[in-house]
Amino acid sequence: MQYYVLKLIFTSRVYVFIFRVGYCNISYRKYGFKNLILCLIYIQMKHILLFFSALFLHIGSNAQSFDYKVNITPVSISNLPGLHSYAFAQSNGKWLVIGGRKDGIHARQPFNTFPQAQSNTDIYVIDIATKQFWTASVTPLGSALAEQLQSTNMNFHQDNDTLYIIGGYGYSTTATDHITFNNLISVDIPGLIQAVMTSSSITPYFKKVADPAFAVTGGHLAKIADTFYLVGGHKFDGRYNPMGNPTYTQTYTNQIRKFGIDNSGSQLSFTAYTPITDPVHLRRRDYNLVPQIFPDGAEGYTISSGVFQQNVDLPFLYPVDITTKGHVPQTSFNQYLSNYHSATTSFYDSNSKSMHMLFFGGISQYYYQNGNRIKDDDVPFVNTISRVTRTSNGNLAEYRFADSMPSFKGASAEFILNEGVAHYESGIIKQHLFNKDTILIGHILGGISSSSANPFANNQTSNTSADNTIYEVRLIKSTSGNVELLNGTNPYDVEVYPVPAKRDLYVTPLNENYRTAYYFITDINGRMLQKGELTDNRLARKGYHIELDNIASTSTLFLTVAFDDVFFTTKKISLID
C-alpha cells in the first residue's frame, strides 16, 4: 500500500510541474493578474483532487478485490490439430468448432498470406471430459456456405441452442480471390453436434441470408435483450501486404450495427437494421468484446483495446462501453497489457457490484521485463495474464498477475466456459456464488503459438503455429498480494473556447508534456468533418486555433484530441450561427 501511495504522490507532483504557467498566462493576458492567481489555484486544486481520486480508486479496488491466482494446466487430446481464429459454441459438455486457420500468424508477402490450404475445412466436435473429437467436412454444404465456414475471424454469438455467424475472411473459389463473406448464418448447435458425431448429413442444420451489411471480419457479434450488435470490424478483400500496396481494399465499418434476427421459419431473416457510426472511437478490429454488468445493473459489453488508430498503426488503449443507450468511450483509463483478440472471461460480484475481466496472453504494445513495463511499438506476442476491474463507482483499474501463460500463447484463442460454474446468460461468471478455494472456470482452446516476441516485425512468421494445446483454467484462493496495480489514469485534458462556438475554436491542452497532438471533429451522425494536428503554427493567444472549415451549422460536434498516440480526450461542442 505504501508503494502505491508514494507512486501516486510522485505522479501528482510531476503533473503539477508539467501543467505550466504558460496555460494560466493566457488567462493573465486576457483577464489580468487576478485571473492568473485564480487559474494557478484551480490547477493546483485539480491535481490535489486527482491525487486523492487515484488514492481512493486504489483503496476502493482493494475493497472490491479479486483474491485469486490463476492456474493454467495443459490437457492433451491425441491427434487434435491446432486451430485459431475460429467460431465456437457448446452444448451438454460438447464443444462445436467451425472455421479458423491451421497455420500461424499470416505472412507478410501477398503471394504467401492466408493460403487456402491452411484454412480449416472441417467442423469439430470435442468432448473435453472423454478427450475425444469427431469431424465432418463443410464441403457438402455447397460453395456459399462451405467457403464462408472455412474463413477466419468470423463474428459469432451463441444464443441458447443457436450459433449465429457473420462474415469472415478467406479464399473464395467462386470469386477466385480472398474476400470478406457477406452471409448471416444460423446453426442448430445440438443437431449439428449429433450429426457430426454420428456421421449423418449436416446440411439440415444451417440457414443463411446474404446482405452487404454482413460483409465484416475481425469484429464481434453480441446480443443485449432481443437485439443483436455487430460491433466494429472491417471489410477486407484481396491479399494482405504490410506496405499498403494495391493488393487489397479495406474499409473499417466504424459502426455498431443493430438488428433483430428471425430464425423461426425455414428462411433466416433480419429486421430493424440500425447502424451507429463513430469513425474515431469505433474504428476497432481484432479486439476483445467482454460482456458486462455495469454498476447500475444494466447489461452490455466493453470493447477492450483493438486496432488501428486513424493516424498510426498502433492499438487503441482505452475501452468503449456499450449498452442499449449507446456507446461511451472511457478515455480517462488506458488498458496496457492486452491489445488484440485473445482468450478472455469475466466475473461479476453482486455483493460489491464489481466486474472483473481476465485476459490471457495474446499480443500487446506493453509487457513486463525484470519488473519494468516496456513499450514496444512492434506490438509483440506476450505471456501476460492481466485483469481489469470496474468498481461499484464505475472506476476502472488494471492489474498484472504474477501468474503467466506457459509461453507466447493466447492470441486468437477462445476461453470456453465451464458450464457447471454458475453464470449469467451472457457468460459472465457469478463470483458471489463461489464457495470453494479452487474452481475450474473453463478452458483455453488453441490460438497462435510463437517462439519469439516479434515474428511478424522480423519477417519470421514461420516461427508461429496454430496451437493444439487445451489449457484448464482454475482460480485458486489467494490473499498473498500476487498482483500489481498499473497506473492507467489519463493525465491529458483540454479546455475549449468559446462555448458555444461559431466558426473558430481555441483548444488549450492542460498538460504540455507531449510530442504530438492530433484532433478529429465529428458530428452526431458519425461523420468525420475535419482532422488535423495541433502544431505551433496554429498556436494563438487563446490556445491552438482550429477554424471550422466548411462545416454547416449543426447543434452538436465532438472534438477528440489524441496525445502521443496514447491518450485520448473528447469534448462535446455546441455550434451556432
What mean pLDDT comes out for the span 342-370? 96
**Is 50 exceeded by the pLDDT of residue 86?**
yes
Q: pLDDT digits over 28-51, tens only?
A: 444 444 444 544 454 455 444 444
**Is 80 exceeded by the pLDDT of residue 428?**
yes
**Average pLDDT score, the chain:** 90
Q: Give the Cα separation of 293 and 431 in Å (integer).
A: 12
Residue 266: all three cell numbers together: 425455414
Domain at 69-486: CATH architecture: 6 Propeller (2.120)
What mean pLDDT comes out for the span 270-291? 98
Whether the Cβ atoms of residue 443 and residue 418 lie closer than 8 Å to each other: yes
Q: pLDDT digits over 183-192, tens only?
A: 999 999 999 9
In DSSP terms, which residues pair with 186 in a beta bridge?
A: 164, 207
Q: Give the Cα separation of 483 and 504 in Å (integer).
A: 48
pLDDT of residue 553: 67
DSSP per-residue codes, 42-53: HHHHHHHHHHHH
Q: Give the Cα separation of 232 and 301 in Å (integer).
A: 13
Q: Give the Cα separation of 40 and 33 in Å (integer).
A: 11
pLDDT of residue 538: 86
pLDDT of residue 191: 98
pLDDT of residue 481: 58
**Is 70 exceeded by the pLDDT of residue 343?**
yes
Q: Give the Cα separation of 210 and 179 in Å (integer).
A: 14
Q: Is the pTM of this model over 0.85?
A: yes
What mean pLDDT comes out for the span 423-440? 96
pLDDT of residue 26: 43
Q: pLDDT digits over 107-140, tens only?
A: 999 999 999 999 999 999 999 999 999 999 999 9
pLDDT of residue 1: 41
Give the domain ranges of the chain: 1-63, 69-486, 491-577
SS3 of 458, please? coil
Nearest residue to 492 (alpha-carbon basis) of 387, 565, 546: 565
Higher confidence at residue 9 or residue 379? Answer: 379
**Is 60 exceeded by the pLDDT of residue 158?**
yes
Class of domain 491-577: mainly beta
